[in-house]
Amino acid sequence: MNAYLPASAQRCTKNFGAELRELARLGGPIAFVQVGLNALSFVDACFLGHYTSSALPAMALGNTLVWLVLATGMGFLMAVDPLLSQAIGAREPHAVTRQLLRGAVLAFALSIPAALSLLPAPLWLDWLGQKADLIPGAATYARISSLGVLPFFGFSLLRTFLSAHSRIAPQILVIVVGNLLNALLDWMWIFGRIGCSEHGIAGSAWATVVGRWFMFLMLIALSWRDLAPHVKQLASATVRRSVCKLRPLQNLFRLGAPIGGQLALEMGVFALTLLLIGHMDDALQANTDGGPRLGGHQVALQLASLTYMLPLGISMAAAVRVGWATGRGDAAAVLRTTVTSMCAGGFVMTFAMALFLFLPTQLTSLLTDDLSISRFAVALIPIAGVFQIFDGLQVTAIGCLRGMGDMRTPFWANVIGYWVLALPLGCWLSMPFGLNLGPQGLWWGLTAGLFLVACAMLFVLRARCKTTTSRLHID
């Protein structure tokens, strides 16, 4: 059974130059896939930003609820990442089978409450005091998107499995075809082209759901050669009992809880920022359509999310390579991958910083032609430029720590950095009881939080690299 990589595929390097080449060989395609995944909502925003003045702000509210749910569930599934890569590094094929199949059980179990939590979206948005004319569109987007939760979790698990085996080509093909399909369906269903009815925000949500199911099923088909040996093990009663044992599944859930919590906290602070900006629109633009501040925030956030995918790809590749090295018990390789990954993460975000600082108007025009939304977006994009490097360093460090098996440190760093520092500081900077800077104040608070999280991650990572890291076990 081809359940682990041969030694040549893992490529144990001897110096930093060779490590950088191997990291680029794995991380470049993973980053491309991450950009492609984010491009689905980016393209949705581009089409809706040129549809009506209220479409983009409403999509921003609905999409925030959706991603809060998706990111939390994805975090729990990320616990499978180090388990798979460390089992591969230790050359234990049967452990790979167990962790993959347990991950599938967890993905299915998580998808049910995650999807159900999006159905009362109108109630959540009303309780959160959002602008009444935006709630119907936002709730429609969130409710339809609930149908795409299961394929999203399944796709995430398959990506983890394939990346741990350095199988990137199927992911790239799926992401390219999926984005082309999503863009075509957006154009057809939002605006009513080629004989289709015009559905606006609902059309965008349906396009994303269809795209997620298509990509999930296509990835299964393209990766079946790698999946089949593991799936066939289910014919054994012993394997079925091992996969369905309650204690290992509970341990997998507990292992993923800090990652899910970390992503929930990170997404949560951005979600709360969006809701606070929605309140500003409600209070200051009560007699106008749409939400210009909310729309401007969404434009800047979409751009920042797109560039974030680059260091996230490096982070995921680092988690795999650090996991391989940990499984082999190779401390020198752990250090080499960690240092190389951190340098690469900071380097790519330097270019993103330059784009955000010097081309905010040009970047804004990609997503909207509404002048009121553009004005607020152009004010926020340079602030996003300031935190690009901090964002790249912290997410790359989190990947390295995950490869070592440290899931808890990023959780606590997020609690302190975002919720103890960033949010209170942002409120003081943005609200009338403070400096009254509006949305810019909230974004400067987020920048301070990202700086603190990056510093904390670097400090912990330096200490971890000096100690011996043991493999994770959940059996």
- Taking alpha carbons only, the member of 73, 171, 177, 166 closest to residue 115 is 73
Residue carrying structure tokens 């602030």:
383
Buried-state track 144-167, b at ≥16 Cβ within 10 A, e below 16 = bbbbbbbbbbbbbbbbbbbbbbbb
SS3 200: coil
Residues 172, 29 contacting (CB under 8 angstroms): yes
One pLDDT digit (tens) per residue for the chain, 475 residues: 444 444 444 556 777 888 888 888 888 888 888 888 888 888 888 888 878 877 888 888 898 899 889 989 988 888 888 888 878 877 788 888 888 999 999 999 999 999 999 999 998 888 877 778 888 989 999 999 999 999 999 999 998 888 888 788 899 999 999 999 999 999 999 988 887 888 889 999 999 999 999 999 999 999 998 888 888 888 888 888 888 888 888 888 888 888 888 888 888 888 888 888 877 776 665 445 557 888 888 889 889 988 998 998 899 889 888 888 888 788 888 899 999 999 999 999 999 999 999 999 999 998 888 888 899 999 999 999 999 999 999 999 999 998 888 888 898 998 999 999 999 999 999 988 888 888 899 999 999 999 999 999 999 999 888 776 666 666 6
Would you call 171 helix, strand, or coil by DSSP? helix
| CA neighbor of 187 nearest in space, from 44, 304, 362, 82 | 44
For residue 13, give both structure tokens.
Answer: 């390097």
Q: Which two tokens stand for residue 221?
A: 């088909």
Distance CA(453)–CA(78), nearest Å, equals 20
Cα distances (angstroms) measured from residue 335 to each of 274, 404, 458: 38, 11, 13
- d(CA 266, CA 418) in angstroms, rounded, equals 7
Six token digits for residue 429 = 């900077």
Amino acid symbol at 214 = F
For residues 37 and 175, is the Cβ–Cβ distance under 8 A?
A: yes
C-alpha dihedral (185, 190, 192, 193), degrees to nearest 10: -40
| C-alpha closest to that of 184 among 202, 211, 213 | 211
d(CA 160, CA 158): 5
Of 161, 271, 157, 145, the closest CA to residue 209 belongs to 145
